[in-house]
Amino acid sequence: MLVAAAVCPCPPLLVPEVAGGAASELDEARAACYDALGVLSAARPERLVVAGPATGRGLDHYPAGTRGSLRGFGVGVETALGSAAERPGEPELPPSLTVAAWLLERVGWRAAPVAALGLGEDLEPARCEAAGRELAAGGERLALLVMGDGSTCRSPKAPGYLDERAADFDAAAARALGAADLDALRGIDRGLAAELGAAGRSGWRLLAAAADGAGLGGRLLYDDAPYGVGYFVASWS
């Protein structure tokens, strides 16, 4: 039973050591993420599952204690999913889940045990739906932290350059996330999301399936594109 959810962006730039002198540019986004995690904690979950984009086409499961590192981004930041006391070997968390683990560490998450799910970039919508329904099945109080970005094409300096469709795509995604509109999230065009580089699509679809029948209301806490990439923070409770 899903009792709360948070949606956060997953750029490594959220971590100040990665952003360096530009860290202050994402202060507002960071603060919104912390607020969304506070709502998750207040919902008194019995389990937290973090979902975020990963490479490949499938679903990858990561238990509590799985390590994550941002060495590939030129900094020595290391973290672990949930309790750092349990640190299994390989595999290592993908960047999106490493950022999630870092956020949880920053807020001192202790509300519930944590596990994570990596969602392949080309994951079929039906598999996203099935995974979401499976997570929410049963009477356990579940919280979800869904990591993912919008389009990467909001400006000429964006990673995907400028695509005139990106602003409307991101605006629709932000509205759906802020309103906890499950039908709108399910209706996001998979092909268009891929063309615009929107890595959050699979996670949002999974969230919509998990929230079906839960009666959650949404609140949009952040919506901006400081580097030409759509970043959203939303809280559902």
What's the mean pLDDT in 202-217?
97
With contact defined as beta carbons under 8 Å apart, do 43 and 61 qualify? no
Q: Give the type of residue at 196.
A: L
Q: Does domain 2-52+122-236 have CATH number 3.90.550.10?
A: no
pLDDT at 125 over 70: yes
Mean pLDDT of the residues in the chain: 93
Query: Given this model, what pLDDT does residue 19 score?
Result: 82
Query: Given this model, what pLDDT does residue 188 score?
Result: 95
**Which of 46-55, 57-66, 140-149 has the weakest average pLDDT?**
57-66
Pairing of strands 59-62, 114-120: antiparallel
Query: Given this model, what pLDDT does residue 105 score?
Result: 95
Length of the chain: 237
pLDDT in tens, 97-115: 999 999 999 999 999 999 9
Q: By three-state DSSP, how is residue 161 classified? A: coil
Q: Which two tokens stand for residue 172?
A: 């629709």
Kindly report whether the global pTM for this prediction surpasses the value 0.75: yes
Return the residue matching tokens 């596990």.
Answer: 115
Q: By three-state DSSP, how is residue 48 classified? A: strand
pLDDT at 86 over 60: no
pLDDT band at residue 56 using 50, 70 and 90 as cut-offs: confident
Return the residue matching tokens 């540019």.
Answer: 25
Query: Given this model, what pLDDT does residue 142 score?
Result: 98
pLDDT at 88 over 70: no
pLDDT band at residue 57 using 50, 70 and 90 as cut-offs: confident
State how far the Cα of 81 lies from the Cα of 63, in Å rounded to an integer.
Answer: 8
Phi, then psi, of 149 in degrees rounded to 5: -105, 165
State how far the Cα of 126 lies from the Cα of 117, in Å rounded to an integer.
Answer: 16
**Which of 37-46, 64-73, 207-216 has the weakest average pLDDT?**
64-73
Query: Given this model, what pLDDT does residue 51 score?
Result: 98
State how far the Cα of 27 lies from the Cα of 222, in Å rounded to an integer.
Answer: 11
pLDDT > 90 in the chain, percent: 84
Query: Given this model, what pLDDT does residue 3 score?
Result: 98
Phi, then psi, of 223 in degrees rounded to 5: -155, 105
pLDDT band at residue 22 using 50, 70 and 90 as cut-offs: confident
Burial of residue 138 (CB within 10 Å: 0-12, 13-18, 19+) is exposed
pLDDT band at residue 87 using 50, 70 and 90 as cut-offs: low
Closest C-alpha to 116, from 147, 85, 76:
147
pLDDT at 89 over 60: no
Helices and strands (DSSP H and E) totals, the chain = 8, 9
